[in-house]
């Protein structure tokens, strides 16, 4: 494991973050459900009820096993099962209707159930009577349909089957599980499977299950706004693959399906080189019209404002929220405030405050778990990390494994559910070291050092590479860029930015990196540069409307959002959003708390 590399610093620059605000040391009842017992302990009505019901069903099960007080016999295949009508009716809407309605079985002592397997019926009865049941690959597809047929709605056995199948979802089987859940009215499993399909759509469309879908099922999937794909080419390719799997019969659905592909979001080269040359597409005048419409979108950016409708709207995917944690606030000191922005509704809400005030912290999200890393509390640089699980109600911040080194203003990003942290300032030196956090093991691992120690750098990922952008080495503002090959574990130098930047907000769209604002050593910047990772070149794009350094930036809902920061005079609370198709910035919202030096992360939710 490598040790942290430090850059040379002088005494005057050692503790000063260039372009930032200097910190001034002067600013630095009674529950009606609760019962009191004789021995002084307390419990609740609900817990008493639960214990009582569990004991009651256990005694009924003993009576069943002993064949006492049983008043009905179920015959399945050639096997007889004794039971109690009251218990069956309480657990099953099917039996409740049978025993309380006008069905002939109401007066029968032996009831033959057809279409059931005897071994499955034994499992279901055991579950009805409160016994634990083991669900396996061998029995789950027999148990769930039988439980559905008997209308054991909301019972443990149905929940067990749903949880089992949900835990075994894969791109190769999720479509089958979705259809299976739909057929057997298991709404929760159906929604979980659908969410999995949307999230893993790029892999799902390569499965054999996808190729066997009916036309209306393919149409229902591809018209969804919830699909998460890095580019629309994946949607186009899956439609053409499905059509050509049985072209003679399926080509009749070409127009129906192609109009749900958002063709304007295909690259111009893909449209001309792939779509235009496909014989199926060329054979349809209406399909060629759709392509012409997409070409016009690319060739006439000035016309995009009048192009409306679903085809001209990028897929939303999950309902993404942007989280802002900690930072430097109006009272001239670090803050512990955490806010969440929903760009779909443009609403800001407050989340639980951090356990410690943090300035110069970084943030990252894995799923719905938000991590805040390092920072400065007004006295010392920090290596502590805390996590908030936003999937839980009333979640609280919990400590996780600390960083190996203290880091303020580190670069942070997530790649394949691993958190990467590089650079930062430990109070003495600008660090060149890299660390990687695996939440499954709660362990940080040291990686290879960068060539230059730096704080205030941006860190983003594209493919299997990390890019560390700009920053400050203790002597100079940097325009250098380093690329880390995750597979090889090596850093290499890439084309430098056009302008030195520390504290820039960095985010990616496809294979482009955008560096927004920052401080160049003289002024706080509003300019924005775009890096093409395929050509290794930087170009200027339209500047923001406001100068910002130590701001946050994220790709959210198809656009880049830049939040807060410091303009050289005031703390900022505005959110500025960049539309890369139109190359224009728009101020869309305001934070509840103006600040800079915060941690920023994007968290995805399903609506």
Q: What are phi and psi of 166, to 5 degrees?
A: -65, -35
Looking at residue 35, its pLDDT comes to 32
**Domain-terminating residue out of 168, 198, 214:** 168
Could you tell me if residue 261 is inside a domain? yes
Report the number of distinct structural domains present in the chain.
3
Q: In which residue are the tokens 């049983």 written? A: 70
Q: Are residues 326 and 287 in the same domain?
A: no
Contact assessment for residue 135 and residue 164, using Cβ atoms and an 8 Å cutoff? yes
Residue 65 lies in a domain: yes
Q: What is the pLDDT of residues 73-119, one digit of tens each?
A: 999 999 999 999 999 998 889 899 999 988 888 889 999 998 888 98
Residue 189, token pair as written in the block: 């499993």
Residue 533 dihedral angles phi and psi, to the nearest 5°: -70, -15
275 and 364, same domain (yes or no)? no
Which pLDDT score is estimated for 318?
Answer: 67
How many angstroms separate the CA atoms of 75 and 116, rounded? Answer: 10
537-541 and 524-532 as β-strands: parallel, antiparallel, unpaired?
antiparallel
Res 18: pLDDT: 77
Residues ≥6 apart with Cβ < 8 Å to 274:
236
> Same structural domain for residues 466 and 374?
yes
Last residue of a domain, one of 312, 334, 367: 312
- Does a structural domain hold residue 177? no
Are residues 288 and 242 part of one domain?
Answer: yes
Same domain for 338 and 277: no
Burial zone of 193 (CB within 10 Å; 0-12 exposed, 13-18 middle, 19+ buried): buried
Whether residue 260 is contained in a domain is answered as yes
Give the torsion sign (CA, 590, 510, 449, 7).
negative
Predicted local confidence at residue 439, as pLDDT: 95
Q: Which residue has the tokens 């419409």?
A: 293
Domain boundary among 273, 297, 312: 312
Does any domain span residue 25? no
Whether residue 247 lies inside any domain: the answer is: yes
pLDDT of residue 155: 66
Instruction: Identify the domain containing residue 96 by its residue range.
Output: 49-168
> Is 281 within the bounds of a domain?
yes
CATH of the domain at 308: 1.25.40.420
Same structural domain, 443 and 502: yes
- 3-state SS, residue 451: coil
- 300/278 same-domain check: yes
| Residue 131 burial by Cβ neighbours in a 10 Å radius (0-12, 13-18, 19+) | middle
Cα 155 to Cα 125, 165, 407, 444: the distances in Å are 12, 16, 50, 42
- CA angle, 365 then 371 then 375, to 5°: 130
Rounded mean pLDDT for each run of 10 residues along the chain, 607 residues in total: 42 60 39 34 55 85 91 92 92 90 87 90 89 86 87 77 89 93 87 89 93 95 87 94 96 96 92 95 95 92 85 77 93 92 88 96 94 96 96 91 98 95 97 96 97 97 94 96 95 98 94 96 97 96 97 88 96 94 92 95 75
At 147 the pLDDT is 87
- The pLDDT of residue 21: 62
Would you say residue 136 lies in a domain? Answer: yes
State the pLDDT at residue 32: 31
327 shares a domain with 270: no
Are residues 273 and 339 both part of a single domain? no
Q: Is 593 found in the same domain as 463? A: yes
| Residues 299 and 408 both lie in one domain | no
Same domain, 241 and 289: yes
- Domain containing residue 55: CATH number: 3.30.710.10
CATH number of the domain at 512, please: 2.120.10.80
Residue 323: count of CB within 10 angstroms of its CB: 23
Is residue 462 within 8 A of residue 475, CB to CB? The reply is no
């Amino acid at each position: 494991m490598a040790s942290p590399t430090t850059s040379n610093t002088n005494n005057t620059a050692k503790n000063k973050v260039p372009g930032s605000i200097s910190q001034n040391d002067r600013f630095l009842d009674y529950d009606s459900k609760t019962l009191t017992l004789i021995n002084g302990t307390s419990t609740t009505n609900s817990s008493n009820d639960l214990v009582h019901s569990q004991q009651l069903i256990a005694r009924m099960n003993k009576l069943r096993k002993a064949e006492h007080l049983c008043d009905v016999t179920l015959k399945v295949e050639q096997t007889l099962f004794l039971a109690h009508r009251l218990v069956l009716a309480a657990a099953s809407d099917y039996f409740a209707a049978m025993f309380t309605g006008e069905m002939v079985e109401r007066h029968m002592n032996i009831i033959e159930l057809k279409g059931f397997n005897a071994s499955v019926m034994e499992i279901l009865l055991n579950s009805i009577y409160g016994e634990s049941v083991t669900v396996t690959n061998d029995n789950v597809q027999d148990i769930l349909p039988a439980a559905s047929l008997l209308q054991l709605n909301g019972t443990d056995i149905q929940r067990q089957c749903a949880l089992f199948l949900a835990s075994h979802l894969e791109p190769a089987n999720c479509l089958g599980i979705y259809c299976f859940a739909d057929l057997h009215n298991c709404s929760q499993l159906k929604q979980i499977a659908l969410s999995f399909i949307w999230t893993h759509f790029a892999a799902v469309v390569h499965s054999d299950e996808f190729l066997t879908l009916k036309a209306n099922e393919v149409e229902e999937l591809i018209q969804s706004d919830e699909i998460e794909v890095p580019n629309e080419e994946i949607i186009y390719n899956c439609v053409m693959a499905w059509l050509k799997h049985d072209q003679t019969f399926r080509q009749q659905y070409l127009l129906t399906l192609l109009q749900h592909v958002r063709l304007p979001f295909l690259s111009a080269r893909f449209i001309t080189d792939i779509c235009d040359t496909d014989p199926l597409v060329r054979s349809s005048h209406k399909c060629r019209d759709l392509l012409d419409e997409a070409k016009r979108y690319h060739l006439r950016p000035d016309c995009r404002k009048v192009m409306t409708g679903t085809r001209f709207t990028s897929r939303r995917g999950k309902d993404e929220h942007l989280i802002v944690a900690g930072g430097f606030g109006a009272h001239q000191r670090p803050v512990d405030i955490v806010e969440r922005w929903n760009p779909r509704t443009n609403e800001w809400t407050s989340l639980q405050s951090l356990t410690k005030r943090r300035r110069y912290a970084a943030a990252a999200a894995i799923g719905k778990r938000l991590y805040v890393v390092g920072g400065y509390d007004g006295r010392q640089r920090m290596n502590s990390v805390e996590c908030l699980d936003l999937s839980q109600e009333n979640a609280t911040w919990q400590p996780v494994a600390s960083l190996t080194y203290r880091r303020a203003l580190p670069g942070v990003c997530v790649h394949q559910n691993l958190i990467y942290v590089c650079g930062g300032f430990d109070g003495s030196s600008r660090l060149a070291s890299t660390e990687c956090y695996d939440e499954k093991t709660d362990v940080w691992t040291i990686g290879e050092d960068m060539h230059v120690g730096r704080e205030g750098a941006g860190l983003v990922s594209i493919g299997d590479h990390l890019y560390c952008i700009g920053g400050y080495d203790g002597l100079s503002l940097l325009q250098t860029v380093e690329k880390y090959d995750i597979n090889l574990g090596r850093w290499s130098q890439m084309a430098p930015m056009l302008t030195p930047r520390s504290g820039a907000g960095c985010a990616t769209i496809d294979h482009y990196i955008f560096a927004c604002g920052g401080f160049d050593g003289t002024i706080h910047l509003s300019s924005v540069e775009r890096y093409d990772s395929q050509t290794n070149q930087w170009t200027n794009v339209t500047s923001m409307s406001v100068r910002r350094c130590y701001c946050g930036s994220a790709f959210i809902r198809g656009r880049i959002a830049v939040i807060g920061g410091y303009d050289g005079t005031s703390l900022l609370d505005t959110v500025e959003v960049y539309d890369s198709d139109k190359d224009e910035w728009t101020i869309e919202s305001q934070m509840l708390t103006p600040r800079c030096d915060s941690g920023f992360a994007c968290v995805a939710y399903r609506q």
